[in-house]
Structure 1
Amino acid sequence: MRKFLPWGLMSLLAALVCWPAWAADQALWEKSTLHQILKRGELRVGLEAGYMPFEMRDKKGEIIGFDVDLARLMAKTMGVKLTLVNTQWDGIIPALLTDKFDLLMGGMTITAERNLKVNFTDPYITIGQSVLLNRRLAGTVTVYGQLDDPRYTIATKLGTTGDIAARRFMPKARIKNFETEAEATMEVRSGRADAFVYDLPYNIVYAAQFPDALVHLKEPFTREALGWAVRKGDPDFLNWLNNFLRQIRDDGVYDALYRKWFESTAWLANVSG
């Protein structure tokens, strides 16, 4: 004859078995970035102002752009305030890892090398590298491959995928690194460099500002997915960010912001020169 344990005792045993897993999940949640953001009442986003149209300064000195609008929407959805942390690009991943901010939203290309240090969300936009030429080369250089020549000097921004692409596809050219996009593009406008290799959206906007000095080879020669970066070991935050991205795409908000920043240049009138 089988003997059965009382129902109350069975429930207690089941609870004791499940307790370690529940406690572990609770501890993981309390350590998560998302929990800390909600507890603090503040979302801190790291970026580098100067990457049009993702993030740049307006004439009042405020940081605006596609990423900034997404960050504001994100903070509003969380019910917290937004703080933008302007950070030099070559130190932006270390700043994330040392908790200077919660989320990196600086238009960063997802690469295997970077993924060793941080985790990325699903891609939120796909771009490619293109070339800005000094106008004196109009008609002489018509495709990026022609720049693979010792006669040419190519300006790049240090630590970017544009720098990597220039060295990979134009190894015979002379490469000059600069800390900012402004320095590199000025080098081309002044004629001290022949070309600038950088992200397509930025180059489109910049070429429209200086049509008398620059020619844009609009066909991108790489394909790159951009993602938001978070610290490793934080599945709750990563899950929330991916669901947020999926929701704003489904409800049309993402498309509206894309049209505002990538299909119109009306905002240029408000950008500091």
Structure 2
Amino acid sequence: MTGRAIMIGLVTIPALVAMAALAAGCDSPTTTSSTATPASVGLPQILQRGTVRVCSTGDYRPFTYRDAQGIWSGLDIDMAHDMATRLGVRLDTVPTTWASVVNDLGNKCDVAMGGITITLNRAEHAIYSAPYLRDGKAAIVRCAEASKFQTLSDIDRPGVRVVVNPGGTNAEFDNGHLHNAHVVNYPDNNTIFGQITNDAADVMITDASEIRWQTGQDPQLCGQSLDHPFTFEQKAYLIPRTATDVQQWMNLWLNIAQNDGTYAALSQRYLGALIGP
């Protein structure tokens, strides 16, 4: 079957089902939900509802960002728009947090998107799409002091202040690997890098993809170990455990997006290069 034939199967049939059920359009404007009630999650429910609800934290650029006016942007937000358009439903972006995203999945939303790392812990409670990006933990520091923090052992020393956003894989890494450095929790992931710039912290360990983005925004910050990260990670989309039909559809959609130029264009725009799984 050709790529064109696969796309027809993915796009046209679900769109017709959705249109027949609720006269849903094929565009995907974003709205934001503050509350949602638990519901069965599956392709029939999404198509009948005419809306796909996507949980996202809105605090992890370049994948997901929600500004003060509630406007969403980012690589995975754009991917969510593409997914909704091809599915023939509207996109409803639902705010979540790193600590609550697994619990919100299947209750407030049908899928979670936004730089989500594949972990064994999350896999105990949910299922993943196929991975779309390879990543790993690295360090971001002030450029003026970059020579002091070239390795993990350089960072894990008494007196080194490591800032971290709680509730995600950065905190898990710090808890498991830093035994001597002083780890400081900072709750706002949108402004956390200012702690390093303003000398309130020395280092943050986060994903290399985020570091590439942040160092492009602030010339005072430099990345360490970007080409040889401390860990191997992949990013994927998180799906309720029972929604295997959603998983299957998303994997087919993702394969098409990775081969028709959709993902490549977004990766170039947000990451500066095509970075795959």
Identify the match of residue 174 of structure 2 among 149, 157, 166: 166
Look up the match of 2:116.
108
Look up the match of 1:89.
98
Paired residue type of 1:186: G
SS at match of 1:108: coil
SS at match of 1:258: helix
Shift of the 32–163 alpha-carbon distance from structure 1 to 2, 3 Å rule, reads closer
Per mean C-alpha deviation after superposition, the further-off stretch among 83-92 and 174-183 is 174-183
Q: Contact 1:49–1:55 at 8 Å: present in 2 too?
A: yes
Look up the match of 1:44.
53
Question: As a proportion of its length, which structure holds more helix?
Answer: 1
Q: Are 1:247 and 2:256 an aligned pair?
A: yes
- Tell me, in whole angstroms, the C-alpha distance in 2 between the residues paired with 1:138 and 1:232: 43
1:194: Cα distance to partner? 1.0
1:32: Cα distance to partner? 4.8
Matches within 5 A, 1:4-23: none
Identify the match of residue 83 of structure 2 among 71, 74, 90: 74
After superposing on structure 2, the runs of 4+ consecutive aligned residues of structure 1 that deviate more than 3 Å are 57-61
Q: Contact 1:104–1:229 at 8 Å: present in 2 too?
A: yes
Look up the match of 2:44.
35
Look up the match of 1:121.
129
- Tell me, in whole angstroms, the C-alpha distance in 2 between the residues paired with 1:168 and 1:134: 24
Q: Are 1:210 and 2:210 an aligned pair?
A: no
Greater gyration radius: 1
Identify the match of residue 159 of structure 2 among 130, 143, 151: 151
Structure 2 runs not aligned, ≥5 long: 1-39
Write the deviation string for residues 77-135 of structure 1: whole angstroms up to 9, x where unpaired. 111111111212211111114x1011101211111111111111111211111111134
Q: Are 1:224 and 2:233 an aligned pair?
A: yes
Q: Contact 1:177–1:184 at 8 Å: present in 2 too?
A: no
- Tell me, in whole angstroms, the C-alpha distance in 1 between the residues paired with 2:217 and 2:90: 34
- Tell me, in whole angstroms, the C-alpha distance in 2 between the residues paired with 1:93 and 1:101: 10
Shift of the 231–57 alpha-carbon distance from structure 1 to 2, 3 Å rule, reads closer
- Tell me, in whole angstroms, the C-alpha distance in 2 between the residues paired with 1:73 and 1:197: 31
Q: Contact 1:153–1:195 at 8 Å: present in 2 too?
A: yes
Q: What RMSD, in angstroms, separates the aligned Cα atoms of the two structures?
A: 1.8
Identity %: 28
Paired residue type of 2:271: F
Paired residue type of 2:222: V
Q: Contact 1:145–1:169 at 8 Å: present in 2 too?
A: no
SS at match of 2:236: strand
Look up the match of 2:187.
179
- Tell me, in whole angstroms, the C-alpha distance in 2 between the residues paired with 1:257 and 1:185: 24
Structure 1 runs not aligned, ≥5 long: 1-30, 265-273
SS at match of 2:59: coil
- Tell me, in whole angstroms, the C-alpha distance in 2 between the residues paired with 1:32 and 1:211: 44
* TM-score for both structures, normalised by structure 2: 0.78
